[in-house]
Amino acid sequence: NCEKQRFFQRYLKMVEICFRSTTEIATFCFCTDDKTRVPLGEENGYINASYIRMKVGEEEHFYIITQWPLPSTMADFWQMVWESESDVIAMMTKEVELGQVKWHQYWPEPPHDSTDLANFHLRLDNYQILDYFIIRTIEMINKQVSCVDHLQFTTWPDHNTPKLAEQLLKFICYMRKAHSTGPIVAHCSTGIGRSGVLLCVEVLLSYIEKDLCVSIKQIIIKYYKLVWMSTTRGGILDQNNS
């Protein structure tokens, strides 16, 4: 028990450092390249999303980072999830913040348990509200059926940190158990800040678990270099753009 407690305290300390470091380092990592851009469809169409691959020892962590889907990009978002064969979406923010509806709801929710898109039918199969995150199991139907776990972390205010680092760690543990195929698709509002901390913390946890030497600063710098290597990530869309 003492060993587990010390191990968990290392987790918490690392998360706190990551929170502080991410915002500071993000401003220094700008470059342009098309290698990490996520292509959409047979014609390699545009979607504002980046591939992120991070190695920990011999293991590779594979993600897609993107912004919150807009009404005009909702169908593209789900097409990306389908084509990537992703089975987990990690949503790191709420659609309502400070009493204002900030973002478009892109998933089916009661009382409307299904949504029709251009190429897919979405159906809410299961729904569970926990203390600090929500689990939705969504079926994507297009001749075949694919199930996606939509995990929404609900205690992370914009321009701030989660109330308790322990909550984020438990969210990551559940995300890992749910994930089995394809990249994890992660987003917050812009797909940079909170999503970046999620990925960096998850990678750093793997370093700790494998008892490998790691520099928190270098992990975060590497993440932001990968994000900004995609030309699409330099021009984040807002609610008023299509």
- Active-site residues, by number, are 188
Residue pair 206/180 in contact by the 8 Å Cβ criterion: no
How far is it, in rounded angstroms, from Cα 92 to Cα 28? 23
Beta bridge partners of 145: 141
How far is it, in rounded angstroms, from Cα 226 to Cα 50? 8
Question: What is the identity of the amino acid at 129?
Answer: I
Angle at the Cα of 187 from the Cα atoms of 186 and 191, rounded to 5 degrees: 120
Closest CA to 187 of 90, 96, 77: 90
Element (H, E) at 152: strand 144-153
